[in-house]
Amino acid sequence: MHCPFCRHPDSRVIDSRTSDDGLSIRRRRQCPECGGRFSTIETASLNVIKRSGVIEPFSREKVMSGVRKACQGRPVTDADLAVLAQKVEEAVRQTGSSQIDTNEIGLAILGPLRELDEVAFLRFASVYQAFDSLEDFESSIEQLRADRERRLHAVPGE
Ligand SMILES: [Zn+2]
């Protein structure tokens, strides 16, 4: 890493800190030539392959705007969406691949969105899982009901 002050081709790491979400590392560096100090932030690259074949960097903003449409009229705040986008990023990074397609992002959204708002989840799922009949909605709703029952009857500690 070049020193941004004197362009010396080397620098020394004097401190490394992992961000709270564990997705990036911030390093304090010092130039052995001029003594200048600077920081670098390191994140693993994560790219999204769009349906058109275009590759672009993963963006939490895009996840949020995609989900926001499904949340229209629902009690979901931007802060909720930000938390959801972070969960989605963590989930896709955990797969260990540096390139994912938009469909995988859609699938990673389903779980956290379902916890957030069931109606928004159904709207989103109907698009991403390409529901093409009322039966698709019915089976999805039945699944939600069954899980809700299970939660209601779950005994804490078991
Ligand atoms: Zn320097």
Q: Where are the domains of the chain?
A: 12-43, 47-154
CA of 2 to the centre of ligand 1 (A): 8
Reported as a single tens digit per residue, the pLDDT across 81-96 is 999 999 999 999 888 8
CA of 110 to the centre of ligand 1 (A): 48
Which of 7, 15, 122 lies closest to 67 in space, CA to CA? 122
pLDDT confidence of 155, banded at 50, 70, 90? Answer: low
* pLDDT value, residue 153: 79
* pLDDT value, residue 33: 96
Q: Coil, helix or strand for 156? A: coil
Q: What does the DSSP assignment read for 73-128? A: TSS--HHHHHHHHHHHHHHHHHT--SEEEHHHHHHHHHHHHHHH-HHHHHHHHHHH
**Is 131 within 8 Å of 140 (Cβ atoms)?**
yes
In whole angstroms, what is the distance from residue 11 CA to residue 61 CA?
33
**Is 112 within 8 Å of 84 (Cβ atoms)?**
yes
CA of 10 to the centre of ligand 1 (A): 8
Token duo for residue 5: 């002050």
- Model confidence at 158: pLDDT above 60: no
Q: What does the DSSP assignment read for 50-77? A: -TTS-EEE--HHHHHHHHHHHTTTSS--
> Structure pTM?
0.71
CA of 25 to the centre of ligand 1 (A): 22
pLDDT confidence of 156, banded at 50, 70, 90? Answer: low
The vertex-76 CA angle with 79 and 117, nearest 5°, equals 120
CA of 114 to the centre of ligand 1 (A): 51
- Model confidence at 58: pLDDT above 70: yes
**Is 29 within 8 Å of 17 (Cβ atoms)?**
no
CA of 43 to the centre of ligand 1 (A): 24
